[in-house]
Amino acid sequence: MMSGDGLPQALSFDDVILLPGRSRVEPWQVDISTKASRRTSIRIPLIAAPMDTVSEWRLAVSLALLGGVAVIHRNMSREEQLNHVEKVKRHPKVKLAELYVEAGDECCRVVEYMRSLGLRNLPLVSGGRPVGTVRFTDLAGCRCGERVEKYARGEAVYPIDALREALEVLRGGRYDTVALTGEGGVFLGTVVFDEALRDYQPAVDSEGRLLVAAAVSPFDVERVKMLDGVADILVIDVAHFHNDNVMNAVRRFAKDLVSDLVVGNIGTSEAVVDAFSIVERVDGLRVGIAGGNICTTSGVAGVAAPTLYAVMMARRGLEEVGVDPGEVPIIADGGIRGSGDAVKALAAGASAVMSGYMLAGTDEAAAPLIRVGGRAYKPYRGMASRGAMERRFAVDRYSRVAKRVEEGIEGLVPYRGPLEKVVAEFVEGVKAGLGYAGAASIEELWRVARFARIASRIGAYTGTVKTEA
């Protein structure tokens, strides 16, 4: 792609639109399942970025239950990161709540608690183990001051292996909640009735466990060894993969890995060609440089490979090395503001998009909820921002100082509620996009998509109509 002056054109999401095409399917019939890496399948093309305000085990579990996958960030010690990954792998394929009463709780307070939740029963936990359930109706005789266990029954506790049975019991309507136990009878969490009615289509590994990825530095071989074979995918987490030190470091461990290996970030076709010639195993490409919503690299360094352009270049690079993008997926990383950008990235050849920004405002994102002037927000920051870098050097004594300049900002994003809601909007938008473009699947989109350059702004919201008071 050349412009009139002979310079190559590095297109961004706002530079192009996707043209409509003849459609044979309705949006609800569109299949958006795809790959996150060579051997891992996801049901929706969404990967949570490894950022310390976004991707920890809670978000990873919820996203995998919804069909996507999260990359657990590395701004913590190796042991902590492993713990987050293991928590996801051990988690049952249902959402767990931290709702229970403890042996020793005073029964009148439990009555009030259960009334406020509107639940007819709650697990009773003693010494970290669920020992039964407390039913609201059984508490009718409670005299204030009594311990709640006096009214408990040894029921509604299921080991994780009996999840199916536990869900059946909930569907049967006798209980609103059941407790799940893990190894040694420890309390894993509470399944609430609503969850039993859901039809989860989770992203899972070959043994049916939730899928999870982990970010690694190419220079932290100990971390790589620790996470290999536990996380399904290891994601090389550097701003510029096309660097001899980085590629040589990855080459040293790549071929022996049990987990899939996604390399990045990549911005040019030459980087793809070099990645495949230097590193023996590449199972996915994370592409886009300096396109992120919190990114200041292009201002600081004057360098960028906008995400849409990077996807197009990665596609070209894969063609050059003779690798099918259906085999080694391209992951479009950075600057995705919503489903529209995602559809453009997919149309350009990506298999999935990676986002921090879209997910940072959700309940499940790793940062706490903050109120400013009566409105709710969540912190969101670049991993090369001052705060994130300070944390990295404080918690991980093995991390290397590669640069002395900040390349990201720290800010707040509006609170967006449960992840499920945000993901549902994203999924509907992506399906609609494929429907308009005339594609029944992402692979078909690659074949039929036609882009046009935007001559002037069209139909898009311009900010002239106020949507908020």
Query: Interacting stretch for ligand XMP, rule CB under 6 A, among 19-27, 173-181, 225-233, 351-359?
Result: 351-359
Cα angle at 102 between 171 and 168, to 5 degrees?
Answer: 10
Of 49 and 257, nearer to ligand XMP (C-beta) is: 49
Helix H or strand E encompassing 410: strand 410-414
Q: Got the DSSP string for 388-399? A: HHHHHHHH-TT-
**Number of neighbours of residue 276 by Cβ within 10 angstroms:** 20
Part of the chain binding ligand XMP (CB under 6 A), chosen from 182-190, 203-211, 276-284, 294-302: 294-302
Question: Is 329 one of the binding residues for ligand XMP (CB under 6 A)?
Answer: no
Question: From residue 401 to residue 440, what is the string marking binding to ligand XMP with x (rule CB under 6 A)?
Answer: ------xx--------------------------------
Binding status of residue 293 toward ligand XMP by CB under 6 A: yes
DSSP conformation letters of 143-197:
-TTSBGGGGEES-SEEEGGGHHHHHHHHHTTS-SEEEEE-GGG-EEEEEEHHHHH
Helix, strand and coil content of the chain, in percent to the nearest 5, comes to 35, 25, 40
Amino acid at the residue 121: N
Q: Which stretch binds ligand XMP (CB under 6 A): 162-170, 204-212, 241-249, 287-295?
A: 287-295
Q: Which of 158, 357, 377, 446 binds ligand XMP (CB under 6 A)?
A: 357
What span, in angstroms and rounded, lies between the C-alpha atoms of 199 and 201?
6
Answer for which of 101, 212, 246, 384 binds ligand XMP (CB under 6 A) is: 384
Running DSSP on this structure, what letter comes out for residue 367? S
Contact 52, 462 (CB under 8 A): no
Which range, of 38-46, 321-329, 350-358, 431-439, touches ligand XMP by CB under 6 A?
350-358
Task: Give the integer Cα–Cα distance in Å for 70 and 157.
Answer: 30
For residue 286, give the nearest of 240, 342, 339 by alpha carbon.
Answer: 240
Q: Which of 22, 143, 371, 397 is catalytic?
A: 397
First to last CA, the chain: 43
Smallest Cα–Cα separation from 73: which of 295, 368, 392? 392
Which amino acid, 72?
I
Q: Which of 385, 416, 439, 445 binds ligand XMP (CB under 6 A)?
A: 385
CB 274 within 8 A of CB 320: no
Dmax over Cα atoms in the chain, in whole Å? 85
DSSP strands (E only) in 38-163: 40-42, 46-48, 69-72, 101-102, 121-126, 129-135, 152-153, 157-159
* 334 part of the interface to ligand XMP, by CB under 6 A: yes
Helix axes 78-90, 57-65, angle to 10 degrees: 30
Neighbours of 48 (CB within 10 A): 31
Considering the complex, state which of residue 81 and residue 297 has its C-beta at the smaller distance from ligand XMP.
297
- Site for ligand XMP contains 170 (CB under 6 A): no
Nearer to ligand XMP among residue 23 and residue 296 (C-beta): 296
Indicate which single residue of 53, 177, 297, 362 sits in contact with ligand XMP (rule: CB under 6 A): 297
For the question of residue 107 being annotated catalytic, the response is no
Which residue number has the CB closest to ligand XMP? 408
Among 196, 383, 423, 445, binds ligand XMP (CB under 6 A): 383
Closer to ligand XMP by Cβ: residue 191 or 308:
308
Contact map string, positions 36 to 75, toward ligand XMP, x by CB under 6 A: -------------x-x------------------------
Q: Does 133 bind ligand XMP (CB under 6 A)?
A: no
Q: How far is CA 7 from the centre of its chain?
A: 36
Q: Does 306 bind ligand XMP (CB under 6 A)?
A: no
Please count the residues of this chain forming the interface with ligand XMP, following the rule CB under 6 A.
23
Nearer to ligand XMP, 30 or 358 (CB): 358
Residue 284 binding ligand XMP, by CB under 6 A:
no
Instruction: By CB under 6 A, name the one of 123, 292, 325, 379 that touches ligand XMP.
Output: 292
Residue 332 binds ligand XMP (CB under 6 A): no
Residue 349 DSSP symbol: T
Q: Which of 295, 315, 381, 416 is catalytic?
A: 295
How far, in whole angstroms, is CA 287 from its chain's centroid?
16
Least Å distance, CB 198 to ligand XMP, is: 27
The contact mask relative to ligand XMP for 228-267 (x = CB under 6 A, - = no) is: -------------------------------------x--
Q: Is 203 in the site for ligand XMP (CB under 6 A)?
A: no
Q: Which of 132, 306, 325, 356 touches ligand XMP by CB under 6 A?
A: 356
CA geometry: angle at 336 spanning 354 and 341, to 5°? 115
Residue with tokens 């609103």: 176
Q: How far is the CB of 285 from ligand XMP (least distance, A)?
A: 13
Check if 295 is active-site.
Answer: yes
Active site residues: 295, 397
Interface positions with ligand XMP (CB under 6 A): 49, 51, 265, 290, 292-295, 297, 333-336, 354-357, 382-385, 407-408
